């Protein structure tokens, strides 16, 4: 036989479960937002890192090119002066 005490306990458990699941959903949503924000920060940071890395590479390539041109120019000038 079902007693009043048992009904109250069941209702209380149902309320707690409902509130708990509601809170759980809210917590999951918070975690998802946090994870999404963290992913965006990681992607943004990675983008900046790669951009800096690429820029440094370009600078090195430009420096090498300039050094080659200068060294070739120097040798051409040296060759021309030796021919004179």
Mean residue pLDDT of the chain comes to 65
CA angle 15, 17, 21 (to 5 degrees): 120
Per-residue confidence (pLDDT) for residue 32, from 0 to 100: 73
Q: Higher pLDDT residue, 76 or 29?
A: 29
- Give tens-digit pLDDT for 21-56: 667 667 777 777 777 777 777 777 777 777 777 777
Per-residue confidence (pLDDT) for residue 83, from 0 to 100: 53
The residues spanned by each domain of the chain are 1-81
pTM for the full model? Answer: 0.36
Q: What is the DSSP string of the chain?
A: ---HHHHHHHHHHHHHHHHHHHHHHHHHHHHHHHHHHHHHHHHHHHHHHHHHHHHHHHHHHHHHHHHHHHHHHHHHHHHHHHH-
């Amino acid at each position: 036989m079902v007693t009043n005490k048992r009904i109250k306990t069941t209702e209380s458990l149902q309320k707690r479960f409902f509130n708990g699941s509601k809170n759980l959903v809210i917590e999951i949503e918070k975690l998802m937002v946090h994870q999404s924000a963290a992913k965006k920060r990681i992607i943004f940071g990675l983008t900046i890192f790669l951009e800096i890395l690429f820029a440094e590479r370009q600078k090195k390539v430009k420096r090498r090119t300039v050094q080659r041109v200068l060294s070739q120019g120097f040798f051409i000038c040296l060759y021309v002066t030796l021919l004179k």
